[in-house]
Structure 1
């Protein structure tokens, strides 16, 4: 069984930290305002601390990061602890994770597995780009080379595990999708060539997407305008048909509905956005026979980079249809500090 890829497919950006935001200009401090012996303090890079709590898992997680090497890389430390277990003070602390992240190089050390993942990328002569990754715990890596095909927007990539486990995978990338051919191992003696791909095309004011993987194909059509979205889909050869429908009632209100014909499962969600930092939604899923209602205070997209609001809170009420008395309230809190 082939090991999973150690870095994302070629159509995705490589891992790396975004360039540092330009510092605001301010007049230099006077001699009275300058910290005594503060040469080191003035050179200290800004430190960001982010803390989260998930009530469902009863887990706290903390992340500390700062720019190093004159801003070209980011150093990050992550640690988590829960309310159960026999750690220090009765709290179970998880092993830390330390990472050094740059645009073309990264090192992630996981104390839990006592291993590290190293990855890097470099531009070679001409239009070639080399990427490589290595997992010290698994003693396995992956290497790929991507080349532009002349002046066209198309590319071709060859990638292989290290040490190799069969023929390298070949991927052809073009503006509307990609197609890859790789060797698939059926058993110890039998191997076949497997073809996978994804193609997108604009049809009748919408986008049609075809995904082919292991002799199965998913076809999806998405029509969207300013008020409605309609998304029918079918899976072959199982002939599983479903559709989703979304209606923008007002600039702040949206109704979504989906239905699976083969299982009769359905669901509906109503969303309301009071402003940029306050949103709530309520819905029902028939497959889980569960009703949910959630409210967000803060940016619901997950970003906490806005100033002055650097926190978000999400409360969720889950009500089982079969036993209302088992309703639970879950919450998730995320807070950021800059030093």
Structure 2
């Protein structure tokens, strides 16, 4: 009689596997190269004004993963002459606006120097003038104090106090009759009758304005004192793509109406009527028709 073998059969022996070599650590992508390799999105806007018969063009794109924005704007007439060009580079802390025709640049910067303190500065290269300002957020929310002064220094600095319902500005100005005088300007706003009421006091003129707005209707009357100039604006949205705007000034009998239709996000159409009604040397003033067509490509 055969005795069972004490050896384990070959098919029951687990094969010896060689461990796989460790995978190399993942390489971190170069952030600078990724910012450069990403193609910036380009947006082109062209608008035609039939009254002045000129085209307004704007070309803009975002750079460095939306950290900065480059914008070029210029005017083109029917003779294909280009004028009014302006090149702007803007970011969170720095903006540069360059005018090629004037060969001038306006530089603005702002940054935080503390938890509740901000520094702002502006400089006109050609005029060799500018302004510096300090903004302090004294309380939250919406309370701040701003002190600004022109460079070179002229007179007292301008002070602005901001609060949730408006702001007050104290500024010293020179006049022909009075060498220097202190002016007080301010804005006060708040909810009134399901809308927002605002009072603007600037250069000894008070302007009262009421604004009511819902999903389909906007109504904005206003009056200026002491001139008693009354005007109102009316906007009606018929659909998400159709809107009508109307404005009338009672003191000058001047009114305008604009119809806007949006076909999609890249194409908009505007047509309107702008009139100056009244008598001029015994004749009615001309009432030109205006039409604007806006194309947007992104």
Normalised to the residue count of structure 2, the TM-score between the two structures is 0.71
Alignment counterpart, residue 155 of structure 1, candidates 144, 161, 182: 144
Q: Number of paired residues?
A: 260
Q: Secondary structure at the match of 2:114?
A: coil
Q: Which residue of 2 aligns with 1:312?
A: 268
- Residue in structure 1 matching 2:52, options 52, 57, 68: 57
Q: C-alpha offsets along residues 246-273 of structure 1, whole Å, 9 cap, x if unaligned? A: 8xxxxxxxxx5xxxxxxxxxxxxx8562
The equivalences for 1:14-163 within 5 A come to 43-84=38-79, 91-94=80-83, 96-151=85-140, 153-163=142-152
Give deviations 1:145-200, integer Å, cap 9, x for gaps. Answer: 01011456411110011112111001111111111111121249721211111122
Q: CA RMSD in A?
A: 3.8
Contact 1:294–1:314 (Cα < 8 Å) also in 2: yes
Q: Deviations over 1:123-163 (max 9, x none)?
A: 01231011111111221111110101145641111001111
User: Is 64-73 or 53-62 further displaced after alignment?
Assistant: 64-73
**Structure 1: which 5+ runs fail to align?**
1-38, 85-90, 247-255, 257-269, 300-307
Answer yes or no: is the 8 Å Cα contact 1:232–1:241 preserved in 2: no
Which residue of the other structure, out of 158, 177, 185, is the alignment partner of 1:196? 185
Distance 2:247 2:208 in 1: 27
Unaligned runs of 5+ in 2: 1-33
Task: Give the Cα separation in 1 of the matches to 2:38 and 2:193.
Answer: 58
What residue in structure 2 maps to residue 8 of structure 1?
none
Aligned-pair CA distance for 1:316: 2.6
Counterpart-to-counterpart distance in 2, 1:271 and 1:214: 33
Query: What's the CA shift for 1:92?
Result: 1.9
